[in-house]
Amino acid sequence: MESQRSGSGREETLNGSPHLKAPLNTLHVDRCTPAHRVHALLYAGAILGLVCHRLTSILASSSLAEGWMLLAELVLAFMWGCSRAFKWRPVRRREFPDRLPEGGAWPKLDVFVCTADPRKEPPVGVVSTALSAMAFEYPAGNLSVYVSDDGGADVTLFAFMEGARFARHWLPFCRENGVQVRSPEVFFASSSSSSSGCSAGGGDADKLKVMYQNMVQRVEDVMEKGIHVDSVELDLSEEQQQIFKRWKEYSGNNHPSIIQVLLKSNEDKDITGQAMPNLIYFSREKRPGFPHHFKAGSLNSLLRASSILTNAPLILTIDCDMYSTDPTSPQRALCYFLDPIASNKLAYVQFPQRFQGLNKSDIYGGELKHLYKMNPYGMDGFGGPNYLGSNTFLSRRALFDSSLEGESGRDLLEPEKVLEMATKVAACNYETGTKWGKTIGFRYGSLSEDLHTGFWLQCEGWNSVFCDPPQASFLGDAPKTLHDALSQCKRWTVGQYEVGFTRHSTLTFGVRKTSLGLGLTYSHLAFWGLWCIPITTYALLPQLALVNSRPLFPKSSDPWFYLYAYLFVAAYTQDMLDFIYHKGTLRCWWSDQRMWLMRSLTSFTFGSIQFACKQLNISTQSFNVTNKVMDDEQLKRYDEGTFDFGVDSPFFVILSTAALLNLCGFLVGIFRYNINMVAEMLLTGYGVANSWPIYEAMFLRTDNGKMPDRVKLRAFLLTGIVLAGGFLVFNA
């Protein structure tokens, strides 16, 4: 088995040899790699056979439907070919944090927590995420936590002022009681303190819970009533009152740069007298008429400001709804950044995104196991995973070009001068005429700034590492309504097209600048919206073929039938086995593949249309923040594993239409039973099986999550139109 070992910076005695250095990390190639390679070669041969057979059929019949099927199968072949790179050389790594030097030798760490809308991302949750990072087992003097509030909301700043007070009690409590999950929101929501890894019960925990609940209540009151600076209940200092008086002149998209240092490690102590990490609230300047470049712009402003304030060589980017579940996760990242071999061209260490509160079947495929776990293993074998936007430890020097390194970086010892400089670099016009967003910092030009940034860093010669400890290091929230899940994926589709369809495409530029394997993996991610072509085709044409008794596939007695059967069964079987191999369940795999079909029909289709409109300068919907707030009824349906269709959405019109077409085709196929159309029947039956939640929502349910009547009416009308169109196509 292929393996590799990297050396640490100190010598230890291993296996009796006093000169062998203890490795900080190791890797080995996945043991299933040979099987994946053999399967890829066999499957590639079968695809060539299918294309030849389809071309022969087209030449014999000149059928429009046959031609469209060929297009769909060519896209399937392209996407499959790109995806094989993930399976060609997947690697697994292991870290040894106990072999690190003492904490005083660790580099400084800046943590970036990004939020944009207090209505969709509750401030208390954002504060809890920041507190979980402040509670890292890391030298306080080397740790700074920044919250980037791109909504410029006064309630978010107020929440962090409250959070800074609470942190003086929370951090020593976690440290002294061995708390593992250091998000207070999660800790106090658990049924018992032991479920969050706490050795203390009653007493201190109960008092701290009351303190936390009081903080939450104060923040929620401000959310509901607004901030009144003359209120005795708010207990604001004179300086805080002046801050919030100025806030009355601000709006979310029209305000100056706002930087408030809430805690200083060289001044502020917790209740036990130990130093606290720096805590800084940051909101960049926004003015009408100046592009803000969404999250990438926010991160770049914070990157510049933090260079002046603390200038840590390491940065952790973390979404506001992700929290730390392992206070030693920075040490795992250091096993690579302090490795003299691995760190030379190391841009970032990527931890997987994992999610809390998923129901047993994960009905919306919220785990996204392929994207967040299986694919990164494969990319790591070619130079490293893509940047996932959260749970990522980055090297600051990788985000700057060499000419900018070392220009800034000061301690928080001269508050007025330093804050003045930091405010200046957060101005909305600072980047005009510069290389920010192009060759410096997080890259612009895509709604998927994470994919774009990681792609460019690797094209510039940087590497990355996938760090996946047995125990989750970070947990977050996945969308828990179907509409939110599909909307999020549609936004990603547009952003990924913006990476793929450029002069520096992943398929051409990426292959030349990185490697064939890495270029193909990035292409699979960038062009995943193209799945809409084959999936929509297979959701419509076989069904229409059944209704019109016009075969599209070989009959069951034809040897070519078995080739098609092999391609379908082998693809799904391998995907199922891979899913289970990565600690999934059969039930969750079924949900995952069903959601892939749903995304292909809706998210990928609408994302493709939106991208095309954008390229033609046709106005489309802009970036939206995923909603993190749910009502009790929605949450109950999700926990019970019941799909939520209670929104009048074009997504659900398309899904209902596809479900009705599959049902029509299947019923007609049974009634007419044609031995020459077994393949069409099997595909249509598979569509019916996947559509069962839609049939329930349309015909059987009465709760608020049922399919709205307007959606059903439009779906029936659209189904009739498609059936009529199919009759014309197949009988022309």
Residue numbers belonging to the annotated binding site for Mn(2+): 295, 319
* Residue 460 exposed, middle or buried by CB count within 10 Å (0-12, 13-18, 19+): middle
Sign of the alpha-carbon torsion through 56, 59, 61, 67 = positive
3-state secondary structure of 444: coil
What whole-number distance in Å separates Cα of residue 657 and Cα of residue 649? 13
SS3 state at 93: strand
Beta carbons of 641 and 360 less than 8 angstroms apart: yes
User: Which residues, in sequence order, are CB contacts of 288 under 8 Å at separation 6+?
Assistant: 253, 254
Residue 132: strand, helix, or coil = helix
**Separation CA 550–CA 567 (nearest Å):** 22
Instruction: Please say whether the beta carbons of 26 and 4 come within 8 A.
Output: yes
SS3 of residue 382 by DSSP = coil
Residues 6+ apart with CB under 8 A from 370: 592
DSSP 91: E
Helices (H) and strands (E) in the chain, counts: 26, 13
Positions marked active-site: 150, 450
Q: What are phi and psi of 261, to 5 degrees?
A: -85, 110
Closest CA to 306 of 399, 401, 429: 399
Cβ atoms within 10 Å of 502's Cβ, excluding its own? 15
As a dihedral over the C-alpha atoms of residue 617, residue 619, residue 621, residue 623, rounded to 10 degrees, the angle is 50
CA distance 358 to 639: 8
User: CB-based contacts of 154: which residues, under 8 Å, 6+ apart?
Assistant: 227, 244, 247, 250
Q: Tokens 């951090």 label which residue?
A: 171
Residues 591/598, Cβ–Cβ less than 8 Å:
no
3-state secondary structure of 401: coil
Burial class (CB in 10 A: 0-12, 13-18, 19+), 224: exposed
* Binding-site annotation: residue ranges for UDP-alpha-D-glucose: 120-121, 150
Distance CA 539, CA 547 (A): 13
Query: What SS3 class is residue 14?
Result: strand
DSSP helix/strand/coil, 466:
strand
Question: Which residues have a Cβ under 8 Å from the Cβ of 85 and sit 6 or more positions away?
Answer: 378, 382, 516, 517, 518, 520, 521, 524
Identity of the amino acid at 634 = Q
Q: Report the C-alpha gap between 342 and 701 in whole angstroms.
A: 56
Distance in angstroms (rounded) separating the CA atoms of residues 392 and 470: 17
Return d(Cα 304, Cα 294) in angstroms, integer.
16
> What span, in angstroms and rounded, lies between the C-alpha atoms of 381 and 4?
12
DSSP states of 192-215: SGGGGT-S--SHHHHHHHHHHHHH
Nearest to 281 by CA among 155, 170, 424: 155
Report H helices in 89-137.
Answer: 123-134
